[in-house]
Amino acid sequence: MTLKDKIHSEALAHLHLDGKDLDLVIHKGTVGPRVIDVGKLYKETGHFTYDPGFTSTASCKSKITYIDGAAGVLLHRGYPIEQLAEQSTYLETCYLLLNGELPSKKELLKYRMQITKHTMLHEQMTSFYKGFRRDAHPMAIMCGVVGAMSAFYHDSTDISDPRQRTVAANRMIAKMPTIAAMAYKYSIGQPISYPRNDLSYTGNFLKMCFGNPCEEFQVNEVVARALDRIFILHADHEQNASTATVRLASSSGANPFACIAAGIACLWGPAHGGANEAALNMLEEIGTVDRIPEYIAKAKDKTSGFRLMGFGHRVYKNFDPRALVMRKTCHEVLESIGREDDPLLKVALELERIALEDDYFIKKKLYPNIDFYSGITLRAIGFPVSMFTVLFAVARTVGWLAQWKEMIEDSEQRIGRPRQLYIGEPLRQFVPISQRN
């Protein structure tokens, strides 16, 4: 069934403007808010809609992810995130997001082999890393290396060819952990560690990050399973800023590697994927439970410019369901490595308790989001703060690719080109420098 078939155009919205009446079609999806189709508004009325930040704008149709912010619901192809996090694996979730259905045993085995066989990076790309300063932020390295992939994998850049789209998606999902691990190794001056085909997706990633040539690396299966669950939690999230960036970049026909690099760059911002790094830095700055009231007061003082990182969400006005699973996973990891008394966890739990009882946060419906607990967990596993958003990017790659693929296959999609409300100077004549003071 095409995307078009899944839409039911029904009631009309009546607009009375400048003495004219205009009927706008209302579309209804499977579930969630209906949309008013304003596609003909400018042509019929000479007016644009105005919605900075797109708080009331649906940019596309999609069958991939559904979020009910008020109820704290997140579904991927109809399956609740809690069930996927508990019962699925990241690669099985990748298959689901990309293909729309859970794989059979045979399909999953084949898909796992396809990904495993693509984990190596073109050897010449390793020279890229040597061009960066040792203290380069790994996200800067990731933006550069992923953007350069179109120079090495040119045979999977023709987005009109479904086979090349599949190869590009497999290559991205398979190589992102290798690229991320190489950025980490480079930053700590250790030799890069090559992927192994006998390890799981996250076991391989842990080995490439924390293994070394001097000894056999033993995968901690509890940590590998926890990291796999963290990847599932971060896999896709509807039309968030970085996904919207990937869709907009793809709408011009740019190659998939360049579009994913654009998504990585957008994710890096502290208001988005960079919040896990910012949240951990904030917890470290708070340091002890007795300093929490000082920071709660700062977060409520508009003039401070300070926000509780890891709190609030554009869509969730209830608990972020991923944050609840993330908090449980955080406890499991800390327990498994004997760090359940981590002082930062104490600060995080107390900060969450106080904030959730505070009128300011209750009124503004500010709850912990996925980034609040992920930082503590990743730090406990052994990742430096600078790698937190890199891991978010590794996990989100499948969401970007699923949305990219859906956009290319949507016959209604065309190049994204928003308009504006112009508030600049009216027409005026140029004054040559000889006539100016």
Question: In sequence order, what E strands does 38-99 have?
Answer: 65-68, 73-76, 79-80
Q: Is residue 196 within the footprint of ligand SDX (CB under 6 A)?
A: no
Among residues 146 and 366, whose Cβ is nearest to ligand SDX? 366
Interatomic CA distance for residues 149 and 161, integer angstroms: 18
CA distances from 320 to 224, 355, 364, 374, 414 (A): 23, 15, 15, 13, 32
Q: Which of 312, 345, 395, 401 binds ligand SDX (CB under 6 A)?
A: 312
Span from 111-119, 302-310, 338-346, 420-428 in contact with ligand SDX (CB under 6 A): 302-310
Given phi > 0 = left and psi -120 to 50 = alpha, else beta, which region is 399? alpha
Q: Which of 76, 118, 237, 313 is catalytic?
A: 313
For position 309 contacting ligand SDX by CB under 6 A, the verdict is: yes
| Binding-site string for ligand SDX from residue 35 to residue 74, where x marks contact by CB under 6 A and - marks none | ------------------x---------------------
Q: According to the binding rule CB under 6 A, does residue 299 interact with ligand SDX?
A: yes
Instruction: Check if 158 is active-site.
Output: no
Beta carbon of residue 250, minimum distance to ligand SDX (angstroms, whole number): 17
155 is catalytic: no
Contact 57, 51 (CB under 8 A): yes
Question: Smallest distance from the beta carbon of 397 to ligand SDX, in angstroms?
Answer: 13
308 scored as a contact of ligand SDX (CB under 6 A): yes
317 binds ligand SDX (CB under 6 A): no
Which of 116, 240, 251, 389 touches ligand SDX by CB under 6 A?
Answer: 240
Please give the structure tokens belonging to residue 301.
């003082």
Looking at residue 143, its amino acid is C
- C-alpha to C-alpha distance for 390 and 138, rounded to whole angstroms: 7
CB of residue 360 vs ligand SDX: minimum separation in angstroms?
A: 8
Q: How would you label 261-275 residue by residue, b for 16+ Cβ within 10 Å and e otherwise?
A: bbbbbbbbebebbbb
Query: Rounded distance, CA 418 to CA 59, Å?
Result: 11
- What is the smallest separation between the CB atom of 383 and ligand SDX, expressed in angstroms? 18
Cβ proximity to ligand SDX: between 81 and 96 the closer is 81
Distances (CA, A) of 352 to 39, 158, 203, 355: 43, 47, 31, 5
Question: Are 164 and 112 within 8 A, CB to CB?
Answer: no
Residues in contact with ligand SDX by the rule CB under 6 A: 53, 237, 240, 271-273, 275, 299, 307-315, 364, 366, 369-371
List residues with catalytic annotation.
Answer: 313, 371
